[in-house]
A and B are shown apart, each in its own frame.
Chain A
């Protein structure tokens, strides 16, 4: 079974621009979560989608948004990019509930804002 796919793997943007990152979950997984990883703040939860609905949200400004499509693929968007948005953005797809719930991570998209 194919793993979680994230595109693009690397991205360079200029301050003030916007960016869209894509995540294709493992086949059959209906939940997708997004995390931001930076050297200073570590791994931080952005949001989680299940069946096209945002189910959980982290403490990020409104510039960070996401959505999930009917085929479970997800996108996240960051508008008005700031230098501090430079990070590795990880997507995780999940299956199961309760104790059986496990997250499988993609390789990430490394975003550099100049």
Chain B
């Protein structure tokens, strides 16, 4: 069965500092991988996704993630945090077959200190 682990339920950074949110997946074959962001009282917004090909994926709002098969990881990074990045971030996987359901990690709340 597939699963997703996000290390750290809360991450706090200073404005302008590097953002690193960790995600590891468990799957017999590499799945499709996603990062979503959720702002208070809103739904989920897709930041980026990995399907096949280039392992470094660039997304919206300056975020990027690198797929590392050997480490079964898909960590999310942003070089310089902005106050507007404060939100909850979810890593998700989907099997590369006819399944169309997303399996989500437990989420990481990012706090940005001024």
Contact = CB atoms under 8 A, between A and B. Distances in A.
Interface of A: 4, 31, 33, 35, 42-45, 48, 50, 55-56, 58, 90, 92, 94, 98-99, 101-108
Interface in B59-114: 90, 92, 94, 96, 99-107
Given A56-B100, A101-B100, A90 B106 contact: no
A33 B43 contact: no
B100 A33 contact: yes
Given A42-B106, A99-B52, A48 B100 contact: yes
Given A107-B43, A108-B43, A102 B101 contact: no
Given A4-B43, A43-B90, A90-B43, A103 B106 contact: no
Nearest to B49: A102
B83 to A, nearest CB: 22
Interface string B21-65: 000000000001000100001111110010110000000000000
B27 to A, nearest CB: 16
Q: Which 9 A-B pairs have the closest CB atoms?
A: A99-B51, A105-B43, A43-B104, A105-B44, A45-B101, A107-B43, A42-B106, A56-B101, A106-B43
B42 A107 contact: yes
Q: In terms of DSSP, what is the predominant structure of the interface of chain B?
A: loop
B51 A103 contact: no
B31 to A, nearest CB: 11
Q: In terms of DSSP, what is the predominant structure of the interface of chain A?
A: strand
Chain B interface bracket (under 10, 10 to 19, 20 to 34, 35 or more):
20 to 34
A103 B35 CA distance: 12
Contact of B45 (A31, A33, A105, A108): A105
A107 B41 contact: yes
Contact of B101 (A33, A50, A105): A33
Nearest to A45: B101
Given A107-B41, A108-B43, A42 B100 contact: no
A42 B9 CA distance: 12
Contacts of B90: 43
A104 B100 contact: no
Nearest to A103: B102
